[in-house]
């Protein structure tokens, strides 16, 4: 089956209110979706003052790990609804804390991606991702995970597309204004769908005020914005998609990957 209903959920978390943030975010998850993406660090909030604060709420969320309240809630929801969920959380592994996203299938199995490109002060809080960009199968699709600032590095989307991704799941806490437009190009140049789930509101816990831009969206492989939320409201943006719309032939003589010339690139 190549038809799927997918959604991006846009929230306004209250820093530190894990229980309240979880309830509100999971209430916004629309019914009858195959795949739902929630924002980066959606249950904790974003602006940690120091690594110890992040470590205090980080969970062993990787497959086989002990989990925690966020992992548990994210696992219960797909079991009840049949939707696959992707969401951002602080992940603990040995002595490290990563800014990660977790994918949870309805059968309770899960996958983890650790943010490779850390943004600004995140470099003082989190360990950079160490697992690269892998593709996993869920809800009948090949899913690639990236997180927020990864949008600015075309290598992220390209690595996922070359690994066979059909849908990029992109939990975000966007601050810079350019990502919604850039993801249109990421989709066109890789012929993938992308679901960017962002947050709204602001945080100022370190003296630096951060305004989050909302505009969660779903983009098609040809760069059509299928749905986009505004900058002010919580909610869910939903789209019915067909994986058969992923066409890698650009013209009869041009293939989006076959025409690459790695021998001419200096990377």
Tell me if 152 contacts ligand ACM by CB under 6 A. no
Length of the chain: 267
CB atoms within 10 A of CB 221: 22
DSSP 8-state symbol, 201: S
Please, what is the end-to-end C-alpha distance for the chain in angstroms? 38
Please state the closest distance from residue 174 (CB atom) to ligand ACM, in A: 6
Q: Which stretch binds ligand ACM (CB under 6 A): 59-67, 171-179, 224-232, 244-252?
A: 171-179
Element (H, E) at 138: strand 135-138
What's the token pair of residue 153?
């590095």
Binding-residue pattern over the window 98 to 127 for ligand ACM, x denoting contact by CB under 6 A: ---------------------x--------
What DSSP string describes 205-230? Answer: SSS--EE-----EEE-TT--EEEE--
Tell me the catalytic residues.
40, 115, 148
Please state the closest distance from residue 238 (CB atom) to ligand ACM, in A: 24
Tell me if 173 contacts ligand ACM by CB under 6 A. yes
What's the token pair of residue 83?
């939707």
Please state the closest distance from residue 148 (CB atom) to ligand ACM, in A: 3
Which residues neighbour 114 within 8 Å (Cβ) at sequence distance 6 or greater?
A: 91, 98, 99, 100, 127, 128, 129, 130, 131
Name which of 126, 128, 133 is nearest 111 in CA terms: 133
List the interface residues with ligand ACM, window 25-54 (CB under 6 A).
40
Q: For ligand ACM, how many residues bind (rule: CB under 6 A)? A: 7
Tell me if 203 contacts ligand ACM by CB under 6 A. no
Residue closer to ligand ACM (CB basis): 34 or 203 = 203
Please state the closest distance from residue 115 (CB atom) to ligand ACM, in A: 7
**Residues at the interface with ligand ACM (CB under 6 A):** 40, 119, 148-149, 173-175
């Amino acid at each position: 089956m190549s038809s799927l209903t997918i959604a991006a959920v846009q929230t306004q978390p209250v820093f530190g209110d894990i229980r309240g943030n979880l309830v509100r975010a999971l209430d916004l998850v629309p019914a009858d979706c195959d795949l739902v993406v929630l924002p980066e660090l959606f249950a904790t909030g974003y602006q940690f003052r120091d690594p110890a604060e992040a470590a205090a709420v980080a969970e062993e969320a990787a497959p086989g790990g002990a989990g925690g309240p966020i992992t548990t809630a994210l696992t219960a929801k797909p079991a009840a609804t049949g939707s696959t969920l992707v969401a951002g959380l602080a992940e603990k592994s040995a002595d490290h804390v990563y800014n990660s996203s977790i994918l949870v299938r309805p059968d309770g199995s899960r996958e983890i991606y650790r943010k490779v490109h850390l943004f600004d002060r995140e470099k003082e809080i989190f360990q950079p991702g160490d697992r690269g960009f892998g593709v996993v199968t869920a809800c009948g699709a090949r899913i690639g995970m990236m997180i927020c600032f990864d949008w600015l590095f075309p290598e992220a989307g390209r690595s996922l597309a070359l690994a066979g991704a059909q849908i990029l799941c992109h939990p975000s806490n966007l601050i810079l204004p350019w990502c919604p437009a850039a993801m249109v190009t990421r989709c066109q140049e890789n012929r993938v769908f992308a679901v960017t789930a962002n947050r709204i509101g602001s945080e100022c816990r370190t003296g630096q005020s951060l305004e989050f831009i909302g505009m969660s969206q779903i983009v098609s492989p040809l760069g059509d914005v299928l749905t986009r939320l505004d900058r002010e409201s919580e909610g869910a943006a939903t789209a019915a998609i067909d994986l058969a719309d992923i066409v890698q032939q650009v013209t009869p003589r041009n293939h989006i990957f076959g025409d690459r010339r790695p021998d001419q690139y200096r990377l």
